[in-house]
């Protein structure tokens, strides 16, 4: 099963559940589990639920970003990066010394790469 198929199941679940009552939610979720079982993908439900959470957050206006830097960033720097991506931002940070300096920011399927490592690689390609 491809990532696109997980997204389709997650999108369908979101659309069906977004405006229903808690009582109806139980019925819909039971039917969804039966559907996954019938299609032999119940074991992949955690991936579908992860996509569902992503869709729900996006629809609520929340943006999730991952910031990778060579060293721990100051809180003020993280806040500035967060502000650039919107007011409601979920942030994950990671330290990767191979970045050398600068940051890489991952948002959904986009990468904003302002790392020294990538600049050095571009320079190497230009000089070759």
- Rounded distance between C-alpha atoms, residue 77 and residue 83, angstroms: 10
81 and 103 inside one domain: yes
pLDDT value for 61:
82
In 3-state terms, what secondary structure has residue 111? strand
82 and 122 inside one domain: yes
94 and 119 inside one domain: yes
- β-pair partners for 64: 90
pLDDT value for 34:
95
- Rounded distance between C-alpha atoms, residue 59 and residue 55, angstroms: 6
113 and 97 inside one domain: yes
- What average pLDDT values come out for the chain (128 residues) when binned by 10 residues? 88 95 93 94 93 89 90 94 80 94 91 93 91
115 and 72 inside one domain: yes
Q: How many domains does the chain have?
A: 2
pLDDT value for 82:
87
pLDDT value for 58:
85
27 and 74 inside one domain: no
pLDDT value for 87:
66
85 and 33 inside one domain: no
53 and 82 inside one domain: no
Q: Which of 59, 74, 103 is the last residue of a domain?
A: 59
The structure tokens 């330290």 sit at: 95
Which pTM does this prediction carry?
0.65
68 and 48 inside one domain: no
Phi-psi region of 50 (alpha: psi -120 to 50; beta: other; left: phi over 0): alpha
72 and 121 inside one domain: yes
Domain region containing 21: 3-59
């Amino acid at each position: 099963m491809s990532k696109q198929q997980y997204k389709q199941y997650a999108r369908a679940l979101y659309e069906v559940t977004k405006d229903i009552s808690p009582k109806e939610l139980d019925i819909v979720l039971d039917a969804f589990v039966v559907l996954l079982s019938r299609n032999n993908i119940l074991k992949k439900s955690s991936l579908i639920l992860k996509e569902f959470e992503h869709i729900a957050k996006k629809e609520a206006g929340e943006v999730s970003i991952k910031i990778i830097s060579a060293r721990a960033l100051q809180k003020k720097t993280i806040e500035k990066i967060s502000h650039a991506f919107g007011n409601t931002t979920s942030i994950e940070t990671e330290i990767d010394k191979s970045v050398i300096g600068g940051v890489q920011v991952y948002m959904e399927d986009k990468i904003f790469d302002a790392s020294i490592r990538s600049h050095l690689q571009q320079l190497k390609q230009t000089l070759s």
